[in-house]
Structures are given as structure tokens and as C-alpha cells.
Chains A and B, each alone.
Chain A
Amino acid sequence: MSGADRMGLDDPDAVFAALVAAHAGLDEASSRRLDAMLVLLLAHAVGDTGRVMAAIAEARRLI
């Protein structure tokens, strides 16, 4: 996956801000759950096991 050279979203700033804002006022556990829900929803939207697995591996690699 080479995410850096291709930006698929037309307004990344808005998406980034919305992701952060969604956590406003949540405690640690709820915040985690929200992220987990987002991941599951987005994994479903991607709809491709291979791409989801690749994204997991990529995130883990960069940690």
C-alpha cells in the first residue's frame, strides 16, 4: 500500500478534524470503542479482505 503518493479524499483536513471532533467529551473506553466502530464500518466500506489486512499490517509496521 502506498498511501503517501495518492490522496483519495478531496478534503483531508475536514475528515481529520471530524475524526478528532468525534471523540470530544468521551472517556478513554468510549473513545476506544468509537475508533473500533469506525474501523469496522470503514473495513466494511472497503469491502476487500486483502486490502483490510494490508492496512492492518501497514499500521502495525509504522508503530
Chain B
Amino acid sequence: MGFSAPRFAARPSVDDGARHPVIVVGGGLVGLTAALDLAQRGIAVVVLDEDDTVSEGSRAICFAKRTLEIFDRLGLGRRMREKGVQWNTGRVFRGAREVWHFDLLPEPGHANPAFVNLQQYYAEAWLVEACLATGLVDLRWKHRVTLVEPGAEGVRLAVETPFGVVGLVADWLLACDGARSFVRESLALPFTGQVFRDRFLIADVVMRADFPPERWFWFDPPFHPGQSVLLHRQPDDVWRIDFQLGWDADPESERQPERVRARVRTMLDATVGPEAAFELEWVSVYTFRCRRLERFRHGRIFFVGDSAHQVSPFGARGGNGGVQDADNLGWKLALVLQGAAPEALLDSYDAERIPAADENILHSTRATDFITPKTAAARAYRDAALALAGEHAFARGFVNSGRLSRPCVLAGSPLSTDGGASGLAPGTPVPDAPVLRDGVATWLLAELGRDFTVLAFGDPAAAPEGAIVVSATPAPGVLWDHEGLAARRFGAEAGHVVLIRPDQHVAAHFDRFDAAALAEARRRAMAA
């Protein structure tokens, strides 16, 4: 069964002039994730989207392990795993020959695989359902924001709808309106970085083919000489093929179905054979960019996802990075709105997510520079690395067809406390591990919940009150670390106490329990 895009009903807004605690502009992947996270924390959210459906075309297809863990907390992880295509192997070809392959499979003992491939439209459709199920997300389709007036007391919006223009006021505004963000433009904020002088044809192709569920990347294949090609499998027999075209290609003529069909045909003839039949589902031509805003928080406005930063897709860091932005902001905004933390907590969004965006931009830029060399020297080094890689394992490390999204370590975060313990450092996302609770198999991450959590390793009797105890031996109510993986991945010994933030990052790692130090770390993690 293929996907059929839902059309959501647009209804008139009858609250002209109303004030809302949180308004999200843009019901795309990131806006919907932010809305769902806030709603699950008890915050009512209004989402305005200019369209009335989900993403056109597959766009973000590679959902990384950390994103799946976030979606697990939001209640959608299992659905994504079950529908998505799980893959761990990437193959790199030069010409017709495989030069090497890599295995992303982390060691066993994680609830989630390295990646699943799933079209962005599935993720968005399920996020919409989940948002509605909370009863706290007010989704308003065909609502285009056309005016943004920031103020100290709130942000005023004018919203164009099929039923006329309405005015709304937001205490806090989340600009999740994508790479061409209208909110960003109306604030006249510079969005700086670089454009890669190249064009890529992105096609979703429906076919039955026996390629394994792997990522295949060709440099200079015989069926598309001088350029690169990327092949990915998605659910529903949909295949994503990216053809590098070069800067001189004409985007208009390249997107003509006849022309795309001819390219795909040539590729299939050379790979699966002339009998393979296919249909085109979606075609687009892109020029990639890496750029970001200087700051992501502007008073009462937060830029989240592509509105804040844009990356080229090699490495799958756009959607994954944006979901991590939403994950970072949700709990902070909820605590501030509930009066449990000061507004200063919101400044840490910049402190934590700007370095994360820079890391994503760095990796995406390096991959794109490798794939699209800018100078004769860059081309020579790239071709040299490829020529060596077949026979010299060391040279494979230079071959960069995308360094796939990894969770960001929030090093140097103002919310972190150095607890003196060696082992997992503050700012690190909590590693998963299989554990048993009263004989029932579960995962460490699944046990953490939505608030701050204290994990205590070792003897339950010595643990702080309210802590989740991770024990090397079974005992009632504890998480029995029966394979020893939790302790190993934390680098924790008996007596260690770890304070974990609501977004599952380590706030402090102590080598022993000290009530005052723990309370202080918790205050700091809330910027109090």
C-alpha cells in the first residue's frame, strides 16, 4: 500500500485578536515535533501552516537513531521502526566497482537501529495524528503568516486564511517555517553561509527491485559519467535516487519527466537490468546550501529547524538536526511557562543548539566539498583518495559521501555541572541499554520519562530518594543491568549518581551521592 497524502480541513479562526502562550509557525517535520513535545508536557499550542497537507515528496528519509529515540519518547518510535526500512550498510562505488563498504550497526543492545529510511510525509502524517490525540494542539491549516511584529510583551501576527485575515498574539513564537522562513525575513535577519555551485536531481522512483536495503553511493559510475549518484530504499517500493548534475545543468529541462525517465532507465539497465519497470513519483532539482542565523533566539521568537540553519543533505542532518532543536527547546519552554524555571533557561537554547548546528554544517560542508570539488586540487585529492581506497584501507577514511548524523554532545553547556566522575561526560545524550525491571525486559531510555531523572548505580539502599536504581544484581523495583551494558556505557561504578535532563542528556555525573551537590546541579540545569 502506497501513501496517499491527507488533505486537512481548513477552518476559520474565530479568535481574532486572541493571545496564545505558544504559536508555532509551520506545521512541517520540526514544527509538529515541537508542538507534540510541548503538548505532552501539558502546554497548549497553536500551529499555523500555510498548506493543508504533508511534505511533498520524500525529502528527509534517513531518520537517525537519536531522532528515533526522541520519537520513542513522543510515542511514534515503534511505528517508524515498523514501517521504515532499517539499514546499516553503506557501499561506495567508483566507476562500476565497489571500493568499500561500511557498517553503521552499533554494538547490539540498543532499542533503535542506526537509521531507518522513511519518507518525511509519513512522519508528518503521524505527528499530526499524535498532536490531535493530545487535545492540546490546535492545528490551523491554510493559515499563512503574513506579518510579524515582535514586542517585549508578545509577538503580533497577521494570518491570511481562506476566510479572511486574522490577528493573533503569541507569548512565545516558534518559527518553524522552513529554509525560506518568512519570520526570519520579516525580522531582516541575515542567513549566511555558502551555496554549492552544483545541482542535484532528486527522484522518488517506484519499482520492484532486489537491491538490498543499503545506501549505495557511486562516484563516476558508467551510467552517469563524471558525476555521483546516491540510491536509497524507502518503504512501499519507493527508491530515492539523487543524480549529481553539475552547475551548468538547466533545472527546468532536467526536471522534465521524459528526461528523468531516461536517466533512471540508463541507471537501471546498468544495475538491475532492462526488465526492471518503474514509475516516477516525485522529482525535484536542488542547489544545496549550508548557512545559519547568527542567533536562534530573538526575544520571544525562536528559530527551530531549517529556519535557523540549513545543510546539504549528505549526512541526513537537516531533519535530524531540527528534531533535536525541538527536543532541546520543548522542556525549557514548558518549565518557563509553568513558572518552574526562569526565562534565562531559554538562552541555553542558543548556547546548545548553535554549536550543534555548526557541527552539522561542518560535516555537511566537508561531504559536499568532497562530492563537488571546487578546485583542480580538490578534485585531484578526491580522485586520489578514491583511487587508493580500493586497496588501501587507510584511504577509505578520506572518502566522504556523507558523515551520517550523530547526536550532538552539548559540550560546554551552561546547564552542565562537572560532577567529578570519569565516564560519561555532561552534555552527552544518554546511551541506551537493555535492562530488566522486575523480570520484564525494557530499555533504559524507555524508563527515563519526561522530567529530570536521577540514575543511581549500585546499592538501592544508598540511592537518593526518587532515583531510578541501576543494579548489577536483581532486586525489586530496580533496573537490573543484567548484561552490564548500562554501567559500561556510562562508565559508571557502584555509587555513581547521574542527573539526566528531560531531553535525555546528562546534566551531571557524580562519583558519589551528595544531596547538596545534586540539588545544585539541578538548579543549574534549570538556569535557576
Contact = CB atoms under 8 A, between A and B. Distances in A.
A40 B376 contact: no
Interface of A: 29, 32-37, 39-41, 44
B511 interface: no
Nearest to B384: A36
18 contacts: A29-B376, A29-B380, A32-B376, A32-B377, A33-B383, A33-B387, A34-B384, A36-B377, A36-B380, A36-B381, A36-B384, A37-B388, A39-B384, A40-B384, A40-B385, A40-B398, A44-B392, A44-B395
Interface in B370-412: 376-377, 379-381, 383-385, 387-388, 392, 394-395, 398
Contacts of A32: 376-377, 380
Best-buried of B380, B385, B398 by chain A (most CB within 10 Å) = B380
Contacts of B384: 33-34, 36-37, 39-40
A32 B382 CA distance: 11
Contacts of B385: 36, 40
Interface of B: 376-377, 379-381, 383-385, 387-388, 392, 394-395, 398
A37 B387 contact: yes
Nearest to B397: A44
A12 B379 CA distance: 29
Contacts of A36: 377, 380-381, 383-385
Contacts, number: 34
Contacts of B394: 44
A35 B383 CA distance: 11
Which of the listed residues B384, B392, B394, B395 has the most CB atoms from chain A within 10 Å of its own CB? Answer: B384
Contacts of B395: 40, 44
A57 to B, nearest CB: 16
A29 B384 CA distance: 11
A52 to B, nearest CB: 12
Contacts of A29: 376, 379-380
Q: Counting chain B CB atoms within 10 Å of each CB, which of A29, A39, A40 scores highest? A: A40
Nearest to B382: A36
Contacts of A41: 388, 392
Nearest to A28: B376
